[in-house]
Amino acid sequence: MSYSSGGLIQASDYNGFVGSSPSSTANTINTIWAVGNGDKGYGQSALSQVSAAGLVTATQWATAVNTLNTIYTHQSGSGTGIGAPTAGSLITYLSTFSSSISTAYTNRLNANTNGTDITGTAPAAYTWNSSTPTTAQITRTATFASADQARYFFNAGGKLVLTFSCVNTLGNAKGADWLALFNTKFASIVVGAATNGGRTGTGGTVSASNSALGYWGCTTTNQSIITLTSASGTADYSSNSIAVGIKTNGVQGSNADVGTVMTFTIDLTDAAADTNTAPPSLPAYTPAGTPPTQGGFNDALNLAITTNITVRPPETTNLTNSWGTVTIA
């Protein structure tokens, strides 16, 4: 007999709502709440099932209802509206209980809020100048203590935020254009479970974008999130670009994770010339640091670039920390 108004409440009905743990079975509370599998599971304490011949108590029903309400509050900011039964009260049919579990399962990667940002220690600034190639590559990593902790972090709404800080040490026009490309046009990328949302900045030209790429779309091969060109008013600098990609180290556990280490790869391309010669009738100038003469210019590059990954953890009002500490390197 299935759970219905006027029917007997059977152990199989209750167990069907609660589910086992670990489990990947859709539309059960434990699949969402406990260990789960893959993109399911917040890593919270599993609800116990009852034996086939056992009684389903008011306390057990209340625990199931309250847990579902907590899941809803985590996901959307408010509960299901279903009241938990109390011992001695009249047994009533919870007509929306099953559909509410299905909704929570569908929305399992939603999170209404996050915890407080944890800003990692930024590495020493990377110096990019005209004595180095016109391309440069920077990598940063975020490492989780275990495969399940990586899953819990992203499933419960955790995010990794990549930001830049750039100093134009020469104070010239090319450096100023790069400064705007880093700080204003790119700004940041926020990588979550199933999306990164695209860059948060404005301006420039996005020549490639994959805003739907998040942790669960990662493989061991670097995949592009965005390629952003300056597209400034100065044609000489319009092709300067930042490209960002992510990858992971592949499956590390037994519950269908995609990795414990996420690597951000930042590729920079300086497509503008460092120097320009004057018209043929005028003498050319050469050395870096020498003031331009009669129409020539010195546009050498010398940037101090700092990259940082901020950890934006899941909230801990409705959840307990099951994801541990994320190490940034």
Give the tens place of pLDDT for each residue, 224-244. 999 999 987 677 788 899 999
Could you say which of 106, 132, 166 is where a domain stops?
A: 106
Could you say which of 43, 73, 106 is where a domain stops?
A: 106
Flag whether 253 is in a domain: yes
Q: Are residues 102 and 25 in the same domain?
A: yes
- Torsion sign, CA atoms 141, 145, 148, 150: negative
Q: Are residues 36 and 176 in the same domain?
A: no
The pLDDT value recorded for residue 235 is: 73
Which residues make beta-bridge pairs with 118?
Answer: 311
93 lies in which domain range?
11-106
Q: Are residues 263 and 320 in the same domain?
A: yes
Amino acid present at 297? F
Q: Are residues 38 and 150 in the same domain?
A: no
Flag whether 112 is in a domain: no
Q: Domain total for the chain? A: 2
Interval 287-315 mean pLDDT = 75
The pLDDT value recorded for residue 280 is: 47
Flag whether 2 is in a domain: no
Interval 62-79 mean pLDDT = 97
CA-only gyration radius of the chain, Å: 27
In the chain, helix, strand, coil percent, each to 5?
20, 25, 55
Flag whether 4 is in a domain: no
Q: Are residues 285 and 161 in the same domain?
A: yes
Contacting residues for 248 by C-beta, under 8 A, at least 6 apart: 215, 218, 219, 220, 258, 259, 260, 261, 262, 263
Contacting residues for 65 by C-beta, under 8 A, at least 6 apart: 80, 82, 83, 84, 85, 94, 97
Q: Are residues 185 and 92 in the same domain?
A: no
Q: Are residues 135 and 227 in the same domain?
A: yes
Could you say which of 106, 136, 161 is where a domain stops?
A: 106
Kindly tell me if the per-residue pLDDT of 117 is higher than 70: yes
Q: Are residues 180 and 262 in the same domain?
A: yes
Flag whether 263 is in a domain: yes
Flag whether 3 is in a domain: no
Q: Are residues 124 and 197 in the same domain?
A: yes
Looking at residue 103, the DSSP 8-state letter turns out to be: H
Flag whether 140 is in a domain: yes
Pair 212, 224: CB distance under 8 Å: no
Work out the mean pLDDT of the chain and round it to a whole number.
Answer: 89
- Overall pTM surpassing 0.95 (yes/no): no
135-156 residue pLDDT tens: 999 999 999 999 999 999 999 9
Q: Are residues 101 and 132 in the same domain?
A: no
Q: Are residues 145 and 276 in the same domain?
A: yes
Flag whether 111 is in a domain: no
Pair 218, 259: CB distance under 8 Å: yes
Residue 273 vs residues 47, 59, 196, 229, 238: alpha-carbon distances, Å = 64, 73, 33, 16, 12
Q: Are residues 168 and 311 in the same domain?
A: yes
Kindly tell me if the per-residue pLDDT of 92 is higher than 60: yes
DSSP letter string over 233-262? SSGGGTT-EEEEEEEE----SSS----SEE
Kindly tell me if the per-residue pLDDT of 91 is higher than 70: yes
